[in-house]
Each structure stands twice: as C-alpha cells, then as structure tokens.
Structure 1
C-alpha cells in the first residue's frame, strides 16, 4: 500500500480539544477528497481522542497526538497519548443504556472502523483504526488487533 499523504496534529489533554480534533478530521476528509467518510471519521476521532483526554492522564501539560495516513484504499488514524494501560471494550453493565454515561467509545470504534487496535509504546500507547475508502465493507469480526 502506497502512502498518499500524512498529516499530524497535537492537542492539549483538555475537553475542548475533542471538538477541535473532530473538526480537523472532517476538514481533512474534504482536503483529501473523501467527503463520504467525513462524518464517520469525525465520530471515530472524537471517540478515541475523548478516551485519550479523559483516561490518558499522564503528566501535566501532556498532549494527544493524532496522525492520519492516507493509503490507497484506506485511511489509518493513530491517536497517541503518554499514559500507560491498554484500553478495552467494556462489558455491558446492568444499567439501562440511557443511564450509562461512559464506556461506549471503543464499542463505537469496533463497530464503525474496518480494523482497530492498540500499540504499546515506550512512553504511553497508540490507539489506531482504519476506515476503508470507496466501497463500504463490514468491519472485521475481530474486536481488535494488537501489534
């Protein structure tokens, strides 16, 4: 797969950064001439950046880095933070869905992304996902790919 382009953005670990990351994702989909994935991409970026902002509690002033790689048939997004730990999909709780405030982000990612996974880093981790371009294909049945 040939790399058609790479973009990178850094955000402070603050809640307003999620809105900025979502807007940047939409804009990038348009810039790279793939407006058909703009809404889905914005939602996926929003979910993963939200997790990094809320749960990625590393040192004061730490940032969240988002890297976009446009490949021939897909867009790969890598969201990196400095916190350790491995995010995971939470099991359903006995609370009704409308009362659950948190815990659905990776379920959304697993449902919409073609593939996703976690890469441990020397400092922190990266959560990545891929969105197919053009023809829509159902996501892999595997919940995550770790590598």
Structure 2
C-alpha cells in the first residue's frame, strides 16, 4: 500500500502461503528513503507510521512511536548532510523503528541546559520512553533505533 512517498509492505515472500500453512504471517513494514535536509519528511513519517500502527498496541503507544520516530528522523536530517532511510517493522515482540544515515559520527546523549531552548532533547526522549534503543554501525554510517512493545497485558 502506498502512503504518499512512503510504502507499507509485508516482509516475507509468501504472506498468503504462510497463513494457510499455519505459519506466522510476515510482519508489516514501513520503509522510506528521506532526502537530504527534507524536513517535510518528518510529518510525512508520522502520518505513515500512524497508518501502519492504526490497530497496534494499547492507547497511547502509537503516539509515543510517532514522537520518537519524529525525533530520530529530525536528528538524521539536521545533523548529517546526507540522505537517511526510515524502517519501521511491527513484529510479534512489538515495534522496531530504525533510522539509518550515511555518517559514521555517533550521536551523543547529553542533558540540555536552559540556553539550548527546545533543542537537544530528542535522545533524552528516546531513552526515557522507548523500551529499548541504541546505535549500531551500519556500512559507512550508523543506524539509531528504538523498540516499543504493544503494551497489552
């Protein structure tokens, strides 16, 4: 299914065959290449993620996912001079969102001061609200990711 310039697809070769054979159905996934300094991609990413997560998790979980995705996308576009790739996958363990860029410099988690205004709080939000998060080297760049469980008991 296409959502603007985003695409939502099912990961796996034979979704229909897996369901009929009693196997676990493939995971829905959102994947999008983000253009260099394209801050218009931030609200587009939120909208596409909202569509992907329309029936996912307890109330409030998808909104947290949208906020954290916005932070990672914004960081990738502001702090690098390259394209980035957003991937969001809903699986049996929950949601995993990853934003990969093409700059090896790792982000630094820091406590902002009053002079920073509204800047410098993105990774603090990710650390505070995600069930897990991290940074990993990826080819010539890195991937910053977070995970959220659905929050259902």
Same fold at TM > 0.5: yes
Query: Max radius of gyration: which structure?
Result: 2
**Runs (5+) with no aligned partner, structure 2:** 1-23
1:122-145: per-residue Cα shift (whole Å, max 9, x none)? Answer: 211100000111338xxxxxxxxx
Equivalent of residue 47 in structure 1, options 53, 61, 71: 71
Taking structure 2 as the reference length, the TM-score comes to: 0.74
How far residue 56 of structure 1 moved from its aligned partner, in angstroms, is: 1.8
2:146 counterpart residue number: 129
The residue matched to 1:107 in structure 2 has which SS?
helix
User: What's the counterpart of residue 109 of structure 1?
Assistant: 126
Aligned-partner Cα distance in 1 for 2:47–2:77: 16
TM-score, L = length of structure 1: 0.77
Report deviation, 1:92: 3.6
Q: Which residue of 1 aligns with 2:4?
A: none
Match of 2:86 among 66, 70, 73: 66
* 1:22-101 aligned within 5 A: 22-30=46-54, 33-34=55-56, 36=59, 37-58=61-82, 63-93=83-113, 95=114, 100-101=117-118
Aligned residues: 126
Spell out, residue by residue over 1:9-44, the C-alpha distance to the aligned partner (whole angstroms, 9 max, x if none): 1221311111111111111111xx216322111101
CA-atom RMSD in angstroms: 1.9
CA distance in 1, matches of 2:135, 2:81: 17
Aligned partners of 2:121, 2:151: CA distance in 1, in Å?
27
CA distance in 2, matches of 1:104, 1:85: 18
DSSP-derived class of the 1:69 partner: strand
Once the two structures are superposed, what CA deviation does each residue of 1:84-105 show, in whole Å capped at 9, x if it has no partner? 2111211343x26xx5231000
**Where does structure 1 differ by over 3 angstroms across 4 or more consecutive aligned residues?**
none
Distance 2:49 2:35 in 1: 16
